[in-house]
Every structure is written in C-alpha cells, then in structure tokens.
Structure 1
Amino acid sequence: MQRFNLTRQFFRDVWYLTKSYWQSEEKKKAFFLLGCIIALTLGVVYMLVLLNQWNNSFYSALQNYDAKKIFDELIHFSWLAAIYILLAVYSYYLQQTLILNWRRWLTTRFIDIWLQNKTYYNLQMFGKDTDNPDQRISEDVRQFVEMTLSFGIGILKAFCTFASFVVILYNLSGSLSFTFMGKTWTINGYMLWASLLYSVIGTYITHIVGRKLVKINFIQQKYEADFRFSMIRLRESAESVAFYRGEAQEGSVFKQRFKMLLDNFWKLVNKQKQLVFLNSGYSQIAIIFPFVVAMNRYLTKEVTLGGLMQVASAFGRVQDSLSYFVDMYSSIAQWQAVVMRLTCFGHHMHDVYQQAERFHVERFAAADVVEVNNMQINLPDGKPLLENISFTLHPGHNVLIKGVSGSGKSTLLRAISGIWPFVDGKIFLPERDKLMFIPQRSYLPLGTLRAALNYPGNKPIDDTELIYLMDLCQIGYLKDKLDLEADWSHVLSVGEQQRLAFVRAHIQQPQWLFLDEATSALDEDTEANMYSLLQERLQQTTVVSVGHRSTLNKYHELVLRLNKSTRQVTLEKL
C-alpha cells in the first residue's frame, strides 16, 4: 500500500480475483466474448497499418499534384475509416457486455460469501480491519472488472501495435551516420531506437513522479466511503440524534471526515497535476519529435513527403504502444488500489471464518429439547464470559433468563442460535425451522409492510389472517398500509416494531421462541397482552425470554440465572 509497485504478489492478487469467473460455469460464454474482442482488436491494429500505408500514398499524391490519385485515396480512406469505426464500435460493445456479465457474476459471488455462515455479522462485530463492505462489493468490484479488462485489452493492443509498426519504422528509418571521436558511426533504423529511448525515459520519469499514487488512491477511497457512511448512520438514527439534540456533534464528525477527505484529495490533485504536466509535455513533444529526427532525410530528398508522413505515423504508433504505461499510470495506480481493497476484503472474510473455526461447537439434532453440555462462551479478546455451563430445557416449560448487565444473557442466545463464534462445547437443538429468535429491535427490510410482517417470507399467510393478527397485536391501524413501500424501521416506533415482531411469531408458530428483551419498549399492560396471546394461541411453543421486569415472572416456570462473578449458570424454578 505504500507505493506503486507491480510486484509478483500484485499479479497473484489479480489472478486470485480473476480466475474464479474464468473457471466458472460461464467460462464458455466469457471466453467466446473475449475471443471476439481480441479478434476485433487485432482487426483495429491491422486497419492502423493500412492507414499508415495510406499516409504514404496520399501525401505523395499531394506532393506530385496528382488529382486523380488524391481523390482515389480519399475514397480509399473513407472505406478504411468506415471499417475501422465498425470494428471499434463492436469492440467497445462486446467489452461492455463482458464487463456486465463479469461484474454480475463477481458481485453475486462476493454477496454469497459475505452472507454465508453469518460472515456479514462476524465482520461487523469482529472484523476490525474491514471498512465499508458495501462499497467494496458495489464500487470496487465494478472498477476492478472495468479496469482489468481495459488494461488487458490495452496491453494486447499496445503489443500488437508495436509488433506491427516496429518493422515498418525500422525499414522506413534508413540509417544515421555521424562522426564521433574521429570515427564514423552508423545506426540503422535510428528512428526506432530514438522512439525506444524516448519512451523509456518518459516511463521512468513518470514512475518516479507518480509512484505514491497507489497509497493516496487507497486512502481516498476509504475516506470517501467513511464520509458517506457517517451520513447514512445519521439517516438511520435520525430520531435518536434529534432527541439528544446531537446535530452539532454529528456536524462536527461530518466536517472532520470531510476535511480528511479534502486534505487527502489535495494530495491526489497535486500528484495528478505533476503527472498531467509530465504527460502533456511528453505527448506534445512526441508530435514534433519524429519530424525533427527525420527532417534531415526529407530535406536531402531521401524520402518523399508521403514517406515522411508515414515515418511520423509509424513513429507515433510505436511511441504510443511503448508509452502505454505513461499514459495509463494514474489509472493503473487506481487499479492497484482497487485490487488491494478487494483482495483484503476477501482475505478478511476468510480470516473471520477461520477465526470462528478455531472454536469447536458440536451441534446435534434433538427431537424436542434444547440441551447445552460443557459450553464455554468467550469474548472476542479470548476472555471467558461463561464457563462450563450445562442445562436442559424441556418443551412446555417457559424459561426466563436473568442476570446483571454484562453477565452474558444476550450472548448466550447468540451462542445457541449459532451467530456467536467464540464458543466451545455441545449443543442439542431441534431443526432450525422450529426455532425463532426475536431481538430487542427486529430487523425491518425495505419494501412493503406486508413483506416486513412476513419476514423472512418463508410461510405464506392470507390477508384476512394477517389483519386479524395485526389487530390482536395492537397494530391493526396499519392494515391499510400493507402494500405501501417504505423504510419501516424509521416509520414505526420501537414499540410498534416490537408488536410487529409478535405478529411474525404468530405467523411462524415456532416450537421454540427466544425473546431477547423483546418487550422492553412496551408498557406493562401491552407486554402482558403479548405474552397472554402467546400462551393462548401458541400452546405448543416454548418461550425462552431475556428480561429484567418482575412482571415477566408469571409467564415463565423456570429461571436461568447467570452469575457474572462466577461465570456460572443455574436453572431453577421461579
């Protein structure tokens, strides 16, 4: 990350990100498109060779005032230009098609990896080295695909152009003779060597000036994403910020992050300014350079005007192909930063998964009980939270989990559900679709209220039953908004969201229902109503609750007490 350096490791990273698509089920289609793009690119290079030859014929005709030849060559040029345009347009079209297919496949793959095995959750909780996974999946994947294909085709075109024009330039250059130290020296194809020397010097100077661009681009992408994310956070927590009157603090955070963004951007601008200055001078000198070095042969009539123009054109093509690195330096630096971000993201997801694998939880299927044997729950730093805990919960006996703050009540539920990775021991559970976990603040997806009520949408329900359940859970006044799309997490109060979660429980009718302070925002009467409904309508459901209110005692038969000092758990009757 320190500087521009196309090392072997960098190309291994590019291959690591690239190979999956080209070895996937879409590889035949991808290679077909790539083959067509390569063929069209070679066709474009061939047309450049023909246009170079046309330069000689046309300008020679101009020099000789040959009117018929001039008009014939103009018609010839029209055909060459039309074919060139056709090849260039379809080359672009097929490249964009391949980019879209590749981006779609790679984005889907990253999303699948991000979602599988709760990786998104583990990265959020424990992946401190990964920032803004949303940007990496959306923006970085797009840039990687576009740049990788663009540079690959660009390098191919530059190589083919160089191979095609190097012989032409060598043959047209003739020889340069001069006397040095009393000896006559002759350089055959001197314009070719001048072109090589010009390009090498320009490439070296560009590398010296722009090698710090990778680090600056990498940091800029991070600051841009952090600034955008901070504003998203405010939007998601607008009500809380408004209650706290935290506008000044939030504004300070925004401005500080924006200042960091701007400071780094100015570093980027200054470095880009140096490159623009260098590239502009380099390209402008390249226009007259071939005329300067070939002018002597023209003035001595060794070549015609057409020959001079063909030499200049060939020199320009060779110089352009050799200067590809100079022209694309800034973009290549950005490409390297994108590759690093995506590679790090992939490695971090793998590391989080491996970190979780270090802990060994044996999970067994059980017919109807929830049993924990010799379980130890640790904090991310390795310190034990609960040690050597064992208990068995039987159906039909509701359980209330109690303990002081920080004793591990919610973490115990996370361990049982399988989303807390730092766990050792054995767990016996019924099938996953017989379990339902409701957190203190349930997730509400974007979309219609109907979709939010039936989330995750694996159990169909007709509108009559749905409205009836909404009435029972005291949110029936929202029934006319079932098909309204909104960000319901901001539209509904926390209390409404908790009552909505109970509607979900009645829809799913799980065998085991785990409630993590799921009524904390409800008054005692509403809480009592919610628990009474569970007892009346879900008589086959065993409820396991985390809560502090004594009013919950009458809805449970057992209490699971967590002792923070001894890190032990006891199961006893209420």
Structure 2
Amino acid sequence: MTTPNGSTSLLSTLRRIGALAAPYFHSEEKWRARGLLATIVALNLGTVYMLVLNNQWFARFYDALQNKDQAVFWREIVFFCWIAAGYIVIAIFKFYLTQLLQLRWRAWMTRSYLARWMADRTFYRLELARYGQQDGQTPDNPDQRIQEDMQLFTDYTMTLSMGLLNAVVTLVSFIGILWALSGVVSVPLFGSSYTVPGSMVWIALAYCAAGTVITHFIGRPLIGLNFQQQRYEADFRHHLMRVREYSEAIALDRGEQVEHGQLQLRFGSVLKNYLKLIGKQKNLVAFTASFGQASVIFAFIVQAPRFFSGAIQLGQLMQVNSAFGRVQDSLSWFVDNYDRVAVWRATADRLTSFETAMRAHAGAASAVERAPAGGDEGLRVDDLTVALPGGTSLIQNAALMVKPGDSVLLQGPSGSGKSTLFRAFAGIWPFARGRVSMPENAMFIPQRPYVPDGRLRDALAYPQPASEYSDAQLKQALEDALLPDLANRLDDSDAWTQKLSGGEQQRLAIARVLLKKPAWLFADEATSALDAQAEETLYKRLAEGVRSAGGAMVSIAHRASAAAFHDKRWTLVPAPEGAGARYRLEAA
C-alpha cells in the first residue's frame, strides 16, 4: 500500500476529502444534512459576531476603569452578561447540532460502505486479493476503516472545516478593526521616513506567515506517521481477535508463547511508530506553545510606546490586544491544528484507498459463464480453467457432468484445488473462466462452516430468518443431525463457535441442509471431524434427501470410507510437466 507523504499537494488532498464528503450532501438525506450544515454555519457566524461585540466592549469597559466612571462600569457589566448569555446559548446549540450532523453523516457513510462491502461478495474478493498479494494495493483491516476511520473522518471534517470557517470570518471581521486601531506609523528606512497604515495588520501577517512555514516544516512527517500508526494499531487489534477466535486450537497446540511473541511483535511496531510520532509531536508542540505564548504579549510590546506617549487610552490598548489576538488566532489556524490536520489527511487517505479498492473489486466477477440448468439437466461444466490469485493455473479446460441421482466423490492431494473447484461452481472464485450450468436449489457446505453468535435457532436457519421454520422443524433437523442435546436450546444465545466442538459445528452445518432440503448438495469435507458411525448415518440421510428432491450430491473427502457413499469419482492428479496447469481432472 502506498503510504502518503507530505509531498502530496494540498489541492489533491482536498479533492480526495471532497470526494468522500460530497455523496452524503447529495444523498436521500441531502436536505436535512444541508439544513443542519447551514444552521451550524449560521451559529458559527453568530459566535464571531459575539466576539466582535466583546472586542468593542473591551474599549468601553477599560476606559471606564481608567476614568473611574462607576455608572459606565456597571452598565458595561450588565452588557457583558447579555453577551456572555448569547455566546453560551449559541455554543450549546452549535455543539449539539454539530454532533448530530456528525452522527447522521457517520451513520449514512457506514450504511453506504457496509452495503458496498457486502454486495456482490466484494468483502470476499478484497480478502482474496490481499492474501494472494495480487496487486499490493489492497487495503488492510476493512473493519477498522468502516468502524474507526469513518468516525474520525466525520469528526475531523466537521471540526476542522467549521474551525477554518470561524478563522476566516473572524479574520475578515477583526482585520478592519485592527487596521483602524493601528493608526499610521512612521518607519525610518535608508534615511527616509515612510508611513505605514494598519501596522498591526502587517505585523500579524508576517508573524503568522513565519509561524505557518515553520510549523509545516516541523510537522510534515506527522502525516505519514499517523497513517502508519492507524495501520499498526489495526494489525495488533486484528491479531488479538484471532487469538480469541482460535483460543482452543492455540491452547491445544500449546502455542501461547508463539502467539505472545506475535502479539509482542505487532505491539512493538505500534510502540516504535508511536515513539517516532510523539517525537515529532514534541517538536511541533514546543514550537506552537512558544508561538502562542509569545503572541500574548506581542501586541502590548508593539503598542506600548503609543500608550505611554498618551496617543491611546487603556481601553484602546486592550481593544488592540484583543483584535490582534483574534487576527493572530485566525491566521494561526494551520499552526494550531497541524497535528489534527495530519490525522485527518491520513484518515482520508485510508478511506480513499478503501473506496478505490471496493470499486475495483466490486465488478471483478468470475469470467465463468453461468446459466441455470434447465429441465432435468444437472451440473454441466465446460472448458473450465481455475487459477490461483497469483495467476498460476491449477486446472485447465475441465469438462464435467453430474446428472440427477448421481453421487460423486472428488479426491486429490491437498492443495490441488478441490475446494477452489467448488468455489468456481458456486460462482465466487474470480480467477476462473469457462462455462457452468448450475441447477437451482443447490447448497454448499464449506470446510469451516460459519456459525454466527446469538440464538441457536438463528445459527441453524442461517442465512434465512428463523421465523421461516417452526420449532418442530428446527428440533427435527438437530435430532436428524445427531445433535439431540441442542434440540431444547433453540433460544439460548452464545458464541457457538467457541462452545461447540469441530464435529458439532459440522453436524450443525448438516442440520441446516436437512432443514432446508436442497436438491443439490456440494459438501467440502463435511464429515471430516466425525466418527465412522456418525459419518455413515449422516451421509445416508444427506443422500436420501437429495435423491428424494430429484438432485445429486458432490463431496470432497480424503478418507477412504467416504467412497462407500458415492457411485462416481473425480480425481485430481498431477499434470505432466509443460501441461500448463498443476493438475488434471480424471473422471471414473
């Protein structure tokens, strides 16, 4: 994956951010979103207006103090209370509406990305491309991008964009005030005297321009480091999840030390990158803190000669200092927010690469021509070539036929492509071409059946709703699959992958078949974890089920005992050197 760096132009970054942000404001929620955004902008303008009133109040209030005018003093105290009350009300509504817009925006983006990630098996193709190292550009940890990066993106987009708007409006509002208050200053240069109007404005511009350039130079590495930090954090979290998922297998293999070492290695990457990150942040904080503290007294130092000469009163001095502070804060927006901008940009880059990958793989369907088998036809495969993600051909130009009533056993060495051939039959393997006529009402049992957490009835009926089946049907399926102890636990909720043994999970997958009664069944090592008696019983029930439905069964199995339940055999054997594929398919 390409790591972003500081050389990428600002315009390019803004284009990427705009491309991520625009769809929501043109979606079915556009009027509500635009209305909320317009209200938030108006409230931000109201905040700036309150600051202008506060700046004007400074002059009157401090002049009243200097003149010891008690009546004006108390009048200005009351006026300040009104300003403060208005500011508080605006701040409350601005916070609430901003958070509400962020929440709705994130919800919409999450729904949109989830829909596209899950549509047309894009999630599966992304994993194939990543683990197959097909292009080196496939994004890692899509779970983090959907869950964390979207939250960061919507949060930072709203916070930073409204902050920038505030800065611009504040600058426009106060630069005129500061210009008028600065007066005209004579500057001697090369023996001549030049008058400079609005001197404090020029000083503020020079001060902040220098600060911005230095900040960018110091903070530039933060962009790439933030990008990598998010990646390392996600990798560490992902491995923690895998340890939890495979806790029993790790415990049985006594692999605690190995996994501990792997976790330490990943966490070491997190810490190593984070140390680099905080080192750069330390330099940035050192400069921005110095820059900010210097600005507190900067205007006083510049305007002190005018005050002590009597050219301006205390109130005007305080007003100049307030206006300079507002202008300086506005011009220093980039300085103050550089580290947040770096995180924002890294997050936008991660989402952009995820977006690009989803678009690239959404249409990356298999080149296999698929058609439903008509009439009494069965499975027909013509000129089928199956390859690995890297391009290596496993099988070339295979031609197969399965008729209703057949029972076929597919065998071959491990890694020869038996499961991949099934994936091509199912239409989910993108690295295949040829023609497949697949009967309707077909069902596949993978090597590792998926058992979702939650109620047992939902795990049994998956992916259909459990409400489509009666309790009697669900219980009968469990009993037929040799799981009578689970028949009375339909409403129990649990992490079934952790609770059930490998054999029980396989029997639960078979229970799904017995519940749904498909005519065509493709079973990939469906009984590998069962004892011989259970295997025989369940194979007979599966065969009876598909035969009574007018279909057939195709199985992958390594054990010789499985041959007794099939009347035909396909075997993958190593192809001769130079054949163009690793294996050839022989039918008997």
Q: Could you tell me the TM-score, scaled by structure 2's length?
A: 0.94
- Give a deviation string over 1:175-224, Cα, whole Å, max 9, x none: 11132221112111100111111111111111111100011111111111
Q: Residue 121 in 1 paired to residue 124 in 2?
A: yes
Q: How far apart, in 2, do the equivalents of 1:343 and 1:273 lie?
A: 29
Matched, 1:3 2:3: no
**Residues 253-278 of structure 1 deviation map (CA, whole Å, 9 limit, x = unaligned):** 11111112111111111111111111
Partner of 1:409: 418
In the TM superposition, residue 366 of structure 1 has moved relative to its aligned partner by 1.8
Q: Distance in 1 between matches of 2:317 and 2:7?
A: 39
Output the amino acid matched with 2:442.
L
The question of whether the paired residues in 1 share the 8 Å contact of 2:224 and 2:346 is answered with yes
Q: Is the 8 A contact 1:102 1:145 kept in 2?
A: yes
**Aligned residue number for residue 80 of structure 1:** 83
In structure 1, distance between residues paired with 2:406 and 2:465: 27
Aligned residues of 1:436 and 1:512 also touching (Cα < 8 A): yes
Instruction: State the SS of the aligned residue for 2:328.
Output: helix
Aligned partner of 1:554 in structure 2 is 564
Which region of structure 1 is more displaced relative to structure 2, 85-94 or 125-134? Answer: 125-134
8 A contact 1:4–1:214 mirrored in 2: no
Describe the SS at the equivalent of 1:480: coil
Alignment-derived partner of residue 27 in structure 2: 24
Instruction: Provide the rounded CA distance (Å) in 2 between the counterparts of 1:485 and 1:63.
Output: 75
Return the letter of the residue paired with 1:402: Q
What letter matches 1:57 in structure 2?
A: R
1:361 aligns with 368
Letter in 2 for 1:568: R
Are positions 1:564 and 2:574 aligned together? Answer: yes
Q: Distance in 2 between matches of 1:533 and 1:23?
A: 54
Matched, 1:15 2:24: no
Q: Deviations over 1:265-310 (max 9, x none)?
A: 1111111111111111111111111111111111122111111111
Gap regions ≥5 residues in structure 1: none
**Residue number in structure 2 paired with 1:231:** 240
> Does the CA-based 8 Å contact 2:54-2:80 persist in structure 1?
yes
Q: Give the superposition deviation at 1:557.
A: 2.1
Q: Distance in 1 between matches of 2:84 and 2:215?
A: 33
**Greater CA drift, 460-469 or 202-211:** 460-469
Count of matched residue positions in the alignment of Structure 1 and Structure 2: 568
Matched, 1:167 2:176: yes
Say yes or no: does 1:242 pair with 2:281. no
* Superposed counterparts of 1:163-562, under 5 Å: 163-353=172-362, 356-357=364-365, 360-367=367-374, 368-431=377-440, 434-458=441-465, 460-538=468-546, 539-540=548-549, 541-562=551-572
Please report how far the alpha carbon of residue 5 of structure 1 lies from its aligned counterpart in structure 2 after TM superposition. 4.6
What do the CA deviations read for 1:319-345 (whole angstroms, capped 9, x no partner)?
A: 100000000000001111101111111
Q: Supply the AA of the counterpart residue of 2:206.
A: L
CA contact 1:5–1:211 (8 Å) conserved in 2 = no
Distance 1:383 1:223 in 2: 31
5+ residue gaps, structure 2: 577-582
State the one-letter code of the partner of 2:84. Answer: A
Deviation at 1:535, TM superposition (A): 3.3
Cα distance in 2, alignment partners of residues 352 and 54 from structure 1: 61
Q: 1:317 to 1:311 in 2, by over 3 A?
A: same
1:96 is the counterpart of 2:104: no
TM-score norm. by structure 1 comes to: 0.96
Counterpart of 1:469 in 2: which secondary structure? helix
Deviates more, 1:97-106 or 1:550-559: 550-559
Does the residue aligned with 2:187 lie in a helix, a strand or coil? strand
Question: Partner of 2:380: helix, strand, or coil?
Answer: strand
Q: Deviation per CA, 1:136-170, whole angstroms, max 9, x where unpaired?
A: 11000110111111111111111100000011100
CA distance in 1, matches of 2:291, 2:322: 17
Aligned Cα root-mean-square deviation (Å): 1.5
Amino acid of the residue matched to residue 3 of structure 1?
G
How much does 1:59 deviate? 0.8
> How many Å separate the matches in 2 of 1:260 and 1:570?
49
**CA deviation string 1:425-448 (max 9, x = no partner):** 1111233xx111101220011211
2:236 counterpart SS class? helix
